[in-house]
Amino acid sequence: MPIDITLGARTWIERLWSSIADRGRPYADVPGIARPPLVRAELLARSLLSERGEASGAAVARELLSVLHDLNTEDRAAFRQFLASEFVPDEAELRAAAQAYLEDPSAARATTLFEKAEPPRQEVLRRMNMAPGGTATLVELRRELLQVLKKQPELKPLDTDLHHLFSSWFNRGFLELRRIDWDTPAAILEKLIDYEAVHEIMGWDDLRRRLAPDRRCFAFFHRALPGEPLIFVEVALVKGLAGAIQPLLSPVDGAAPGFDTAIFYSISNCQDGLRGISFGNFLIKQVVEELKAELPQVKFFSTLSPVPGFRRWLKRRLERSADVLRPEEEAAILALHPVEEGAEQPTGAAVLDAMASGEWWLDPAKEAALRPPLLRLVAEYLTRPNTGMGNIDPVARFHLGNGARLERINWLGNTAPRGMTESHGIMVNYLYDPDSIEANHEAFTRSGAVARSAAVDAMLALPALVPPKGRSGYLPRLLGGSSDTGEKPAA
């Protein structure tokens, strides 16, 4: 549906509710404006539950949103506390319903128990959502809440209720997939620049490149948030698997001749207030279907993904264990770190951590020494069982949970500062094979099994690096394995 039609439909709905609210105001219990704003907001929230008429309820909801919009930071924080602490289930009624169900576990009594257990706060939030702009107000409320939730755990009940309601309101059935191109309204294109969370869009020229004929961009929208993308994905049409991000972001235009692969290279969630509401899995699978219909020559669907948790995990492991490196890897690294006679020899792990700083990848000797252990360790990181060393990488969890296969690990796939800081420049390809997505998804969710290619398995069992005799100072190369996993990707 064209964006202007959606915007028009939403404007019509807002006009309708505004008209209803206008007619209902004489019948609504609206506190006078002489009261302090915070007190007035709290009274309006309580009044929402007492209103029975549709028109009067819409009038109170609209007035509450207007007051909330003008609250200062301190009063907004106090209103969040008010919502979280008030509107809880009636303890006596809930206890009686629970006891009745235990005595007679019938469907009817289960329904009564469910009704008594639901916090009245959820009904307050539902009625707030009736006002024009109500959904956007509640999404913003949760965004603010999530920023302070760790320090204020007493707000958790409010977050739980908002998450529960958003899971229903932003169900996949209510989302609309649209392709974004250069003809999309500028207001939405500006939001793509602002919301891009993986590879920063460097202005309008960069955005134009990402919307070129050999690129695709798709986003999910919701009618309650007109003109606001919820999540968007950027796709490059290439020949074979892409191993590095910089060539994909280069200003060179024009589709690769004979392209056969769609590379999902950036997925960005746009609304912080909807964190934890699943969109991405539906987005990728639907975009795959869209691309198959539009471009039948595209046979492969893969990501080019960061590994944002790798460097943090590796640093913890280096600090906790002296057996991170294999003997041949340690020897190659220590060969680049001579010590004076009599001085204590540092461990290979300590030297690795020190070497992997600055622009080390521009030094051929350092790059050759660091490549084997880092590639092996990132393969271990992405395929390891849960042994208490931290949760699985968030990007890996997303794609593996969607049924993708860990296909290839790319050395120096992203040499931008963020890529080097997060993962020593390593990127990976997760392959979406329609024939195995469901089986991979089931294996991962049931047992944590990571679907992976033979090339990744080979990296986990790399052969020993043994320097030839009689060649002092020789830095051994990575022997065996697959060029798909060990070679620097071509531009």
Catalytic residues: 305, 399
Which residue type is seen at 273? G
Calculate the dihedral angle through the C-alpha atoms of 235, 383, 418, 486, rounding to the nearest 10 degrees: -80
What's the sign of the alpha-carbon dihedral 153, 270, 451, 424? negative
Q: CB of 464 within 8 A of CB of 488?
A: no
Cα separation, 23 vs 15, whole angstroms: 12
Which residue type sits at 303?
T
Going across the sheet that includes 231-238, the strands are 175-179, 215-222, 231-238, 261-269, 300-303, 427-431, 405-410
DSSP character string of 89-158: PPHHHHHHHHHHHHHS--HHHHHHHHHHHS-HHHHHHHHHTTSTTHHHHHHHHHHHHHHHTTT-GGGHHH
Helix (H, G, I), strand (E, B) or coil at 223: coil
C-alpha span between 7 and 226 (Å, rounded)? 6
Residues 6+ apart with CB under 8 A from 374: 356, 411, 424, 426
What are the C-alpha distances in Å from 414 to residues 22, 152, 248, 255, 476? 56, 37, 11, 22, 24
